[in-house]
Structure 1
Amino acid sequence: MTVDRATEQATPSSAGASVGQVPALEFRPGRWIANWNAEDHEQWDTAGRAIARRNLNWSIFAEFLGFVVWQLWSIVVVQLPAAGFTLSTSEIFWLISMPSLVGATLRIPYTFMVPRFGGRNWTIISALLLLIPSIGLAICVSNPETPFGTLLLVAALAGFGGGNFASSMANITFFYPAREKGWALGLNAAGGNLGAAVAQLAVPIVITLLAAGTVNLPMAGLMWVPLILLAAFGAWKYMDNLTSAKGDVTGSVAALKEPHLWIMALLYIGTFGSFIGFAGVFPKLIKDYFPDFSTIGIGTVALSLAFLGPLVGSLARPYGGRMADRMGGARMTVAAFASMAVITLTMVWTLPLKNFWLFLALFLMLFTASGFGNGATYRMIPVIFATSSRAARNGADSVTTQRLASAALGLISAIGAYGGFVIPQVLNASNTASGSYTPAFYGFVAAYVVMLTVCWAFYIRNANRDAMGHV
């Protein structure tokens, strides 16, 4: 994961000096690197690749913990009644959805933190901020008399973890050349998404380990504290800041004026929003529909199979991007929405069978389809802005369209994350109004059909093959 710093320092200096075209990398105090140019093949091959890979490794680890903290309340809420808490169904759904609401909102300012503070410096800060919701959770769930308002506030602070995605992706964008950026960002995103799965696997085990048939809920937060400190230390010792990482507020404002940004944001709500939204409510749905399978006892510990959903969704994401490279992102996105609609309908229609394993299999298929859709939709964005945006149609050069695409990626990731708030709240409203989640699922099916139609209408129907055929 690390590269000897003296080697890094010496190699680029000699390479840059001999070529006489690209200035040598300059290592400044505070682990700042000047003259970074990932597009220069010699600089990249001699020192850049090793530096970028090391920063990517620690970025993935820190972002992984961000997703862990972001999802903690979705796991803890189903355990609160056993710990003596008395909460209504509506209050439980608010605790599940509040981290997504705050996390999605924080993604917008987090995008600009890397240019302001430096990628390494902000990774340290954003990692240490995760201590607040982790320790806060441990404190407030240790007392069943904790007011609901306090629980909701601490759940909101878990949104720090959701914001980490935007700054992490923005940081890695600056380190990699265009020819390798897609794979690097895919690894960074998938590594972070896996945090939701690992949290749902590990927390039920740890809180019941040696708890003598009860639950030790404070451990749900405390167990991550050493890893958060390790991530902050690793970022401090091994990551770097780039002087070339510049903020692009102008690009973001320009991107907001592009109609394609809003179309793609809608599609991303359907793909990533479904992933993060269902990841949050899956433990609750299992407990409500199949309480006997909410946790499975293995010796002295309890295992929840809810982790399998975000796991398969995370693993499917990079493959969705890769298949989109071959088949076209729009076609893959349409296929993903069609699959999600059919799978959701099948799940609703087979609920009367009361077969947990069928329910689980169908939900895993739903997560997989959303993961493929995540990768495919995200892949579409830079292609669309390079070929079909207003700027591109008006003759803007590639540098301008790349700036717009980069800004759009951050904004769309923020808007899409609001799906993590919408899905729990729609399920909550459905349950409050009818006593059933079924109307909500029919609503999701309708939304997938609408998004499928929008994607087909804008990016497949009558598409000019030269400009849009490979979107």
Structure 2
Amino acid sequence: MTFMQLLRRDHTITDWDPEDRTAWDGGNAAVAKRNLVWSVICEHVGFSVWSLFSVMALFMGPEYGISQDQKFIIAATATFVGSCLRIPYTQATAIFGGRNWAIFSAIVLLIPTGLTMMLMLNPGEFGLGWFLAVAALTGFGGGNFASSMTNINAFYPQRLKGWALGLNAGGGNIGVPVIQLVGLAVIWLFADRPEIVCAVYLVALAVAGVGAALYMDNLDHQTASGRAMIDCLRYRDTWLIALLYVGTFGSFIGFGFAFSQVLNISFTSAGAAKPALAAASIAWIGPLLGSLSRPFGGKWADRVGGGKVTLYCFVAMIFSAAVLVVAGFSADAGGKVIGGGELAGFIVGFILLFLLSGIANGSVYKIIPTIWEHKVSTMSGMDAASKVKWSRSMSGALIGLAGAAGGLGGVGINLVLRSSYRAYQSATVAFCIFMAFYVVAALVTWWFYARRPMVVGETTDLPVMAGSEPKRSTSEQTSSATPAATGDPTDKALA
């Protein structure tokens, strides 16, 4: 098709049924894949813009008039706005359409990216207020995750949702290390030209917006889940999962924003000739490992249970944080001068936390549907279809709420680090707080989700029909439905 034909074609799909295998094999799979590809691109660029100031902080020398503790406030502002926007973004695709919102979510980010270029080209001419305002606008990139996941969820059949949503989420998260690699390349090749990073993403946003307009589609049957979000708040598990997600995704995004700054401060203290370059050469490793490890956490949880995997990760994160604490106390005892040993401890500790938070992020996602499957299995007066609708609606609502809570955990990480540096000229106190939080999270996970199994008495997932395949009885579904057969391992025990 020509460019004009692509632009003029009807981008609204009616009567989309991903569970119809005949239609799926006859062309719907290609349509869903096309929408997935451009959804990943839009979300990926959105995550990168959300993380823009984690890279800009490396270029902001004394001439900008922004102190180290103010840089943490800037990062926290972007994280806070992006986290809060995840809730309304969850509803956006149902109101405006997945394609329409993908176009908007890409094009609107041209504004903060262009304004960031203006700030970085004029050091010293704009105060902290300007940086906070622009950082808040980059937060719109953080909301993309919720709308993108909601949209792709509607395109794929239940048996393929795990793969599709995992790819969509992972492709978005990798936007964090990618922009840091872009920043590294610019520092290495052009030294003090931060506007080049912004220019790269102005082009990337334009490509994402045009691609979404040409290749994505709106579905006419997407429904908002605002009521489910309100209903979710009545359950204790919602608050417990939010706490665990603060420790998993909150750690990933919080450290994603802060790691480069901590490294820059540490390399400066260690006397590195080019601390910004040294920090940029390492900062991308942690977010990349955290992004890539996420699907493996879900796969591991499929085999041994989400509660156990999450517990193991939090225990390991306690020891990883302890590495930071020991390195911090060692540097403090040496007059707050960071030597080679302490610097190695910081790098190893943070990279382990990134890796483990990614694994735990995937395993917590496996706990969520099991909770609602367990609850609905004990409810009376509901047929199988109603049970499926309720459990999936509540799972989607909790994923949105937990995602917002996790982002707010990233805000807390930046604020705690900022306060620690400001009060004690080191991050040791912050590391102690992180370690204490992981202890609490491990205890909560053990007590509620790993101590004893939560077994679903009957599967509430509807069988996926193919042609004239006969409908199975409830007893047959219970005995034979497996993650491989249904694609939704929600009847699996948590431990």
TM score, norm. by length of structure 2:
0.84
Q: Which of 353, 356, 360 pairs up with 1:366?
A: 353
Q: Which residue of structure 2 aligns with residue 136 of structure 1?
A: 115
Per-residue CA deviations over 1:263-306 (Å, capped at 9, x if unaligned) read 11110010000000001000111111222273447xxxx95210
Q: Which residue of structure 1 aligns with residue 176 of structure 2?
A: 196
Q: Which of 125, 136, 147 pairs up with 1:156?
A: 136
Change (3 A) 1:406 1:303: closer
Secondary structure of 2:179's aligned partner: helix
Q: What letter corresponds to residue 136 of structure 1 in structure 2?
A: L
Per-residue CA deviations over 1:417-462 (Å, capped at 9, x if unaligned) read 1122110101111222322211111111110110111111111223
Q: Which residue of structure 2 aligns with residue 44 of structure 1?
A: 24
State the 1:464 CA deviation. Answer: 4.5
Q: Which residue of structure 2 aligns with residue 120 of structure 1?
A: 99
Q: Distance in 2 between matches of 1:306 and 1:137?
A: 21
Equivalent residues of 1:460, 1:469 under 8 A apart = no
Q: Which residue of structure 1 aligns with residue 379 of structure 2?
A: 394
Single out whichever of 432-441 and 335-344 deviates more from structure 2. Answer: 432-441
Equivalent residues of 2:78, 2:135 under 8 A apart = yes
Change (3 A) 1:294 1:312: farther
Q: Distance in 1 between matches of 2:391 and 2:455?
A: 20
Alignment of 1:227-242 (within 5 A): 227-242=204-219
Tell me the percent identity. Answer: 40
- Structure 1 unaligned segments of length 5 or more: list them: 7-27
Q: Distance in 2 between matches of 1:252 and 1:288?
A: 41
Q: Distance in 2 between matches of 1:393 and 1:437?
A: 48
Q: What letter corresponds to residue 139 of structure 1 in structure 2?
A: M
Q: Which of 144, 147, 151 pairs up with 1:167?
A: 147
Q: Distance in 2 between matches of 1:454 and 1:105?
A: 25
Number of residue equivalences: 438
Q: Which residue of structure 2 aligns with residue 452 of structure 1?
A: 442
Q: What letter corresponds to residue 36 of structure 1 in structure 2?
A: W
Q: Which residue of structure 2 aligns with residue 219 of structure 1?
A: 196
Secondary structure of 2:174's aligned partner: helix
State the 1:134 CA deviation. Answer: 0.5
Q: Distance in 1 between matches of 2:176 and 2:185?
A: 15
Change (3 A) 1:405 1:453: same
Q: Distance in 2 between matches of 1:122 and 1:275?
A: 26
Q: Which residue of structure 2 aligns with residue 325 of structure 1?
A: 302
Single out whichever of 138-147 and 287-296 deviates more from structure 2. Answer: 287-296
Q: Distance in 1 between matches of 2:327 and 2:225?
A: 49
Q: Distance in 2 between matches of 1:294 and 1:318?
A: 33
Q: What letter corresponds to residue 115 of structure 1 in structure 2?
A: A
Q: What letter corresponds to residue 95 of structure 2 in structure 1?
A: R
- Displacement over 4 Å in runs of 4+: 464-469
Q: Which of 375, 378, 381 pairs up with 2:368?
A: 381
Q: Which residue of structure 1 aligns with residue 163 of structure 2?
A: 183
Equivalent residues of 1:295, 1:305 under 8 A apart = no
State the 1:244 CA deviation. Answer: 1.4
Secondary structure of 1:36's aligned partner: coil
Q: Which residue of structure 2 aligns with residue 294 of structure 1?
A: 275
Q: Which of 240, 245, 254 pairs up with 1:277?
A: 254
Equivalent residues of 1:283, 1:294 under 8 A apart = no
Q: Distance in 2 between matches of 1:70 and 1:130?
A: 9
Alignment of 1:7-156 (within 5 A): 30-81=10-61, 84-143=63-122, 144-156=124-136
Change (3 A) 1:207 1:224: farther
